[in-house]
Structure 1
Amino acid sequence: MLIRAYLRASTKQQDASRAKAELTTFAKEHGHKIAAFYVENESGATLTRPQLMTLIDEASEGDIILVEQIDRLARLNQADWETLKQMLAKKKLAVVSKELPTSYMAFQADSNTKFMTSILQAINSMMLDMLAAIARKDYEDRRHRQIQGIAKAKAEGKYKGRGKDVKKRKVIASLLNSGHSYSDIQKITDCSRHLIASVSKELKAT
């Protein structure tokens, strides 16, 4: 059993590795050492997260995914959350979160009776579902408030929108013209596929 820590932040302005030392200490307090860290800046509302997919791909059966909070792992809609749970279940990966004491039992799985392990797993699964639902609700509420704020700013003539990153778009255009794939461009420029598609559309139009 290996412990793999997953750290996520939504934007480049946030430090996804902030909790690294905290999780290291947490694992040590429970008599374990973290084998690998997977750090990325992506929205928790999408399953399109390269580092999370790499973690699942590299994990062996029975490994533990350690997170600071459940919302680091999931702010997904119900369908995507079920998909992620199936991916974890396929490799029997356990999720341990600092905010979820019932998940700590994964650290001492060998010392529990089979009956108690089953009970704790059922409770933990229920708690994970509940916290994932709360995380999604929080995400949707914040998005709703953001949309309301933008609508108000537009009505008052104060909304300017997000300006285009002209420099990055020029680099992407150059890479597209050179025949680079979307995946290559994502790695080189650290941008979204949506932005690449937008630049590609502009190139085709001209």
Structure 2
Amino acid sequence: MHVRAYLRASTKDQDANRARDDLFRFTEERGLKIAASYVENESGASLKRPELFRLLNDCHPGDVLLVEQVDRLSRLNAEDWERLKTEIQNRRVKVVALDLPTSWMMATAGKDDIQSRMLDAINGMMLDMLAAIARKDYEDRRRRQAQGIAKAKADGAYKGRPEDEQRNAGIVKMLESGMSWNTIVAATSCSRSTLARLAKRVSGKTAS
């Protein structure tokens, strides 16, 4: 059995490694070692998480997928959560989360004993519940954010996200040097709408 730690944060501004010490402490207290850590900055509401699926591809039956909180694994809608859960179950991977005490014994339970099967059933139900709560929290926060933006727009106070001036200056230089849009998007991960806006800025400078 190998323990594989999954560390996720939603944005590049957050630190996905923040929980690493807690995960290592958890395994050390139980005489276990983390075989590998998989770190990524992706939304828990999306299944497009290459590091999570690389972890699952590396797993053998009986391996442990260790996370700090269930919402690090899933803020998925019901359909996508079922798809991910099926993938985990088909690979016979045990999910252990620090915020789900019923899962802790999964890290040390035997592979085929009756206790392990009972824990697996209980843990599955708890995972479903916490995944649903995490999704609701995600949707509530998105709704409150949208309401706040709508109110700010109505009050004339909404200014949008602040411009990343340093990045945009670099993109402008790339445009002025004749680099293709595809190359710029690949290099900077900016959206094509942002690129179009900056291209108009460049064309305006040229016209003047």
TM-score interval for Structure 1 and Structure 2 normalised by the shorter chain: 0.7 to 0.9
> Do residues 150 (structure 1) and 149 (structure 2) align?
yes
CA distance in 1, matches of 2:16, 2:70: 14
Which residue does 1:50 correspond to in 2? 50
TM-score by length of 1: 0.83
How much does 1:109 deviate? Answer: 2.1
Which residue does 1:177 correspond to in 2? 180
Tell whether the 8 Å contact from 2:106 to 2:119 is kept in structure 1 after alignment. no
Identical amino acids, percent of aligned pairs: 52
TM-score by length of 2: 0.82
Q: What are the ranges of 5 or more consecutive residues in structure 2 without an aligned counterpart?
A: 204-208
Which residue does 1:134 correspond to in 2? 133
Deviation per residue, 1:100-151 (Å, 9 max, x gap):
11112222222x8732222111110000000000000111111111011001
Q: Taking structure 1 as reference, are residues 61 and 151 closer, same or farther at Cα in structure 2, changes over 3 Å only?
A: same
CA distance in 2, matches of 1:11, 1:146: 16
Structure 2 counterparts to residues 1-206 of structure 1, below 5 A: 1-110=1-110, 114-165=113-164, 166-167=168-169, 169-170=171-172, 177=180, 185=186, 188-189=187-188, 191=189, 195-198=190-193
Tell whether the 8 Å contact from 1:172 to 1:196 is kept in structure 2 after alignment. no
CA distance in 1, matches of 2:170, 2:68: 32
Deviation per residue, 1:159-186 (Å, 9 max, x gap):
011245424655886897286597xx2x
Tell whether the 8 Å contact from 1:2 to 1:64 is kept in structure 2 after alignment. yes
The amino acid across from 2:180 in the alignment is: N
**Alignment coverage as a number of residue pairs:** 197
Q: Taking structure 1 as reference, are residues 102 and 158 closer, same or farther at Cα in structure 2, changes over 3 Å only?
A: same
**Bigger radius of gyration:** 2
CA distance in 2, matches of 1:71, 1:128: 10
Q: Out of 133-142 and 49-58, give the one that drifted further.
A: 49-58
Q: Taking structure 1 as reference, are residues 46 and 145 closer, same or farther at Cα in structure 2, changes over 3 Å only?
A: same
CA distance in 2, matches of 1:113, 1:63: 13
Q: Taking structure 1 as reference, are residues 170 and 54 closer, same or farther at Cα in structure 2, changes over 3 Å only?
A: farther
**Structure 1 counterpart SS, 2:108:** helix
Tell whether the 8 Å contact from 2:46 to 2:76 is kept in structure 1 after alignment. yes
Deviation per residue, 1:34-67 (Å, 9 max, x gap):
1111111111111111211221122222211100
Tell whether the 8 Å contact from 1:176 to 1:200 is kept in structure 2 after alignment. no
CA distance in 2, matches of 1:175, 1:36: 43
Q: Out of 122-131 and 164-173, give the one that drifted further.
A: 164-173
Q: What are the ranges of 5 or more consecutive residues in structure 1 without an aligned counterpart?
A: none
Q: Taking structure 1 as reference, are residues 175 and 15 closer, same or farther at Cα in structure 2, changes over 3 Å only?
A: farther
